[in-house]
Amino acid sequence: GAVVSQHPSWVICKSGTSVKIECRSLDFQATTMFWYRQFPKQSLMLMATSNEGSKATYEQGVEKDKFLINHASLTLSTLTVTSAHPEDSSFYICSAGAQYFGPGTRLLVL
Amino acid sequence: GENVEQHPSTLSVQEGDSAVIKCTYSDSASNYFPWYKQELGKRPQLIIDIRSNVGEKKDQRIAVTLNKTAKHFSLHITETQPEDSAVYFCAASKSSSGSARQLTFGSGTQLTVLP
């Protein structure tokens, strides 16, 4: 079946630094990739929708200049958390559709 | 936009009993309703889904029902086992054919199956 991978699986960084998360579709092409964020004991909240070759669409309240999304190819979408702060600590999950979720990236900002 | 409400937030059942989780949605255009099981630190796992042209779907011990008029859908797990313990999420989506589905998730239900 279709597989979505994410890298890294976890990352610890200092406040003010930037972190890049990669999401790859391993055996299929994904025109669209969804990025979700999940805080502890909470639901998945859609942050943005990335579309190959065009600008991402951000949900209300999500800063597009802070969460940079690039979808340069049909198999790779990246989310960069710029100038990360402790409140950005969360579980970030990409998805290429209802059945295809990445394993998630746990970000801890110190 | 779509709003999905899920109840209960926690549910404890004895092994072998049934568990029912309920969700309501607000957007009558939603036409796809998946259910996910998420274990701690893992990705959501699709366990069953239902489309708006169907009222009920069953897969072994798991079943989902949909009432379009009332805009609610439910997950039923029979003969629960300790390994069913996890957080369950409902979701709703409206999507035209061929495009990837953007999901709105419910708030989740922590199911605990007591041995």
Q: How many angstroms separate the CA atoms of B8 and B94, rounded?
A: 24
Percent of residues in chain A assigned helix, strand, coil, to nearest 5:
5, 55, 45
pLDDT in tens, A81-92: 999 999 999 999
Quick check: A77 contacting B, CB < 8 Å? no
Unique residue bearing structure tokens 């999507």: B95
Instruction: Name the phi and psi angles at A2, rounded to 5.
Output: -65, 140
Quick check: A45 contacting B, CB < 8 Å? yes
Average pLDDT over residues B91-107: 82
pLDDT in tens, A25-72: 998 888 899 999 999 999 999 999 998 888 899 999 999 999 999 998
Residue B97 has pLDDT above 60, yes or no: no
Kindly report the three-state secondary structure assignment for every residue of B57-108. EEECCEEEEEECCCCEEEEEECCCCHHHCEEEEEEEECCCCCCCCCCEECCC
Residue A1 has pLDDT above 70, yes or no: no
| Contacting residues of A for B108, CB less than 8 Å apart | 42-43
pLDDT at A47: 96
**Residue A6: enclosing H or E segment and its boundaries?**
strand A4-7
Unique residue bearing structure tokens 């309240």: A61
pLDDT at A72: 82
Find residues 54-83 of chain B whose CB sits inside 8 Å of chain A: none
Quick check: A50 contacting B, CB < 8 Å? no
CA-nearest residue of chain A to B4?
Answer: A43
Is A65 exposed, middle or buried (CB count within 10 Å of its CB: 0-12, 13-18, 19+)? exposed
Of the candidates A30, A46, A101, which has its C-beta nearest B44's C-beta? A101
Average pLDDT over residues B27-47: 95
Confidence tier at B69 by pLDDT (50, 70, 90): very high
pLDDT at B95: 73
Q: How many angstroms separate the CA atoms of A56 and A62, rounded?
A: 12
Are B21 and B6 a contacting pair, CB within 8 Å?
A: yes
Quick check: A96 contacting B, CB < 8 Å? yes
What is the least distance, in Å, from the CA of B106 to any CA of chain A? 7
Confidence tier at B68 by pLDDT (50, 70, 90): very high
Q: How many angstroms separate the CA atoms of B17 and B35, rounded?
A: 20
Q: What is the CA radius of gyration of chain B?
A: 14
CA-nearest residue of chain B to A36?
Answer: B103
Share of chain B above pLDDT 90, in %: 88
Quick check: A30 contacting B, CB < 8 Å? yes
Contact state of A46 with B103 under an 8 Å Cβ cutoff: yes
Q: How many angstroms separate the CA atoms of A98 and A64, rounded?
A: 24
Confidence tier at B98 by pLDDT (50, 70, 90): low
